Amino acid sequence: MLNKELQHKPVMCEEVLSILNPSDGCVYLDGTLGAGGHSRKILESADCSVIGIDKDPTAIELCRDLEKQYGNKFLSINGSFGNLSQHLNSIGINKIDGILLDLGTSSMQLGTPERGFSFQFDAPLDMRMTQTGETAYDIINSLSEDSLADIIFYFGEERRSRKIAKAIVNKRKIKKIKTTFDLNEIVLSVKKGNNKKIHPATKTFQALRIYINNELKDLYEALISIEKVLSEKGRLVVISFHSLEDRIVKNFIKENPNTILVDAGDFLTMSQQTLKDSLVAEAYGLLPYDALLYGDQELVLDARTLNRLRGQLGTTLVGTNIDRSDLFTSKIIRRITKSSFR
C-alpha cells in the first residue's frame, strides 16, 4: 500500500535543520529515508544534494517523487545505513557534509497492518524492514526459551522477559503463534493489571523488531563509519527514541574528546546561530499531550507521532572530528549478533 496517507510529518525538523545548517553545494545523507520528509526539507533549504538510504523497499518507492522533482540532486539507495561507507563508495562519494539518522520505525511501517509491526492490528507476525529473511513468526516459533528471554530482555529492557518467553514456549506447544494479536494476548496474560503509560506489549514487540532488523548493530557500525565519510566540519544528527539507541550514541560521544555537549535547557532556549555553531547538542524533556514547543514555534504533531514520542524524549545531536573507530564495548553490543541467541 503506497499512498500519501502513510507519510508523516518529520520529527524535530526545525531542530535538525538548525544543526545540519544545509548549505549550497553541499552533500547530505539521510540514512533513514522513510517517506522522505527530512530529505525534502533539506533540499528545500539550500541548493544542495541529498542521498537517502533505507533498508525498506517501500520507502524507496514512496520517494520516487523526490527523484522526479529534484533530478540528480536526490538519490535513493535501498540498503542499511550500517553500510553507509560501502553505499557511498559505490557511487563515488568520499565525503558527506551532514548525516541524519532518525532511528526506529516509521508511520508507514506501523500504519501498514500486513507488515506486522504493530500490536494494534491483527496481522501476520512479520516486522522485517527489508521484507526479506526471517520473520517474527520464525523467531517466536523456533528459538529456545532462553534465547527468546534474552532477546526480550536485552532489546526490550522488559523485566518480565523470562515469564513472557516461558508463556510463548508453552503456547506454541499447543499451536503456532501466527499473528500480532496472538503474541499480544500472550504478553497480556503475563502482564495482567499493568497500569504503565505504555502498552504492556510495547517492549516485547520492540525487542523482536530490533533483533530481526539488526537495528543496534547497524547503528554501531554506522557511527564507526562516520570518521571515514564525514567532512572536517560536517555534522551528524541522530534522533533516538529509546534508551538502547540513546546509550549507544551517548557512549559514542563520551569516547570522542572532540565533541561539545550542550545542556538540555540551553538547547531549547539558545539562538539558532548558537545551535549552528555547536558540534553536539543533547535534548531531553517531557512532551505535552498535544504539541511540542521549541522556542517561539509550536509544532503540532499527528496522533501516531505523538504516541511515538510521548513520555521521555531522548534526542542526541552529534558533531564531527571523529578520530577513533574502537568506540566502546558494552553488554548490548557483545550480544548483538543473531548467532549469540541460538
The per-residue pLDDT for 8 is 52
Query: Considering the chain, what is the average pLDDT of its residues?
Result: 75
Higher-confidence position of 185 and 333: 185
What is the structure's pLDDT at 23? 96
* Locus of grid cell 516485547: 204
pLDDT at 13: 83
DSSP string, 108-139: HHHT-GGG---TTS--BS---SSS-S--HHHH
Highest average pLDDT, of 81-85, 108-112, 290-294, comes from: 81-85
CA distance 9 to 33: 13
pLDDT at residue 238, as a whole number: 85
User: Is residue 298 scored above 70 in pLDDT?
Assistant: no
* Exposure class string for 161-197: b at 16+ Cβ within 10 A, else e: bbbbbebbbebbeeeebebbbbbbebbeebbeeeeee
**pLDDT band with cut points at 50, 70 and 90 for residue 342:** very low
**pLDDT reported for residue 262:** 36
Q: Which pLDDT value is given to residue 291?
A: 28
pLDDT at 258 over 70: no
- pLDDT value of position 244: 86
Is it the case that residue 294 has pLDDT exceeding 50? no
Q: What are phi and psi of 102, to 5 degrees?
A: -105, 95
Look at residue 341 and tell me whether its pLDDT is greater than 50: no
44-82 per-position pLDDT tens digit = 999 999 999 999 999 999 899 999 999 999 999 999 999
CB atoms within 10 A of CB 149: 22
- Percent of the chain beyond pLDDT 90? 47
Top pLDDT among 2 and 50 is at 50
Q: 49-54 and 27-30: which strand pairing? A: parallel
Predicted pLDDT of residue 11:
76
Threshold 0.85, pTM exceeds: no
Taking residues 289-317, what's their average pLDDT?
Answer: 35
For residues 229-251, give the mean pLDDT.
82
| Of 65-69, 131-135, 237-241, 273-277, minimum mean pLDDT range | 273-277
What pLDDT score does 195 carry? 58
**pLDDT(19) > 80:** yes
For the segment 161-181, the average pLDDT, to the nearest whole number, is 97
Contacts of 132 by beta carbon, 8 Å cutoff, 6+ apart: none
- pLDDT over 70, % of the chain: 70
At residue 111 the predicted structure's pLDDT band, cuts being 50, 70 and 90, is confident
Confidence at 220, pLDDT banded by 50, 70, 90: confident
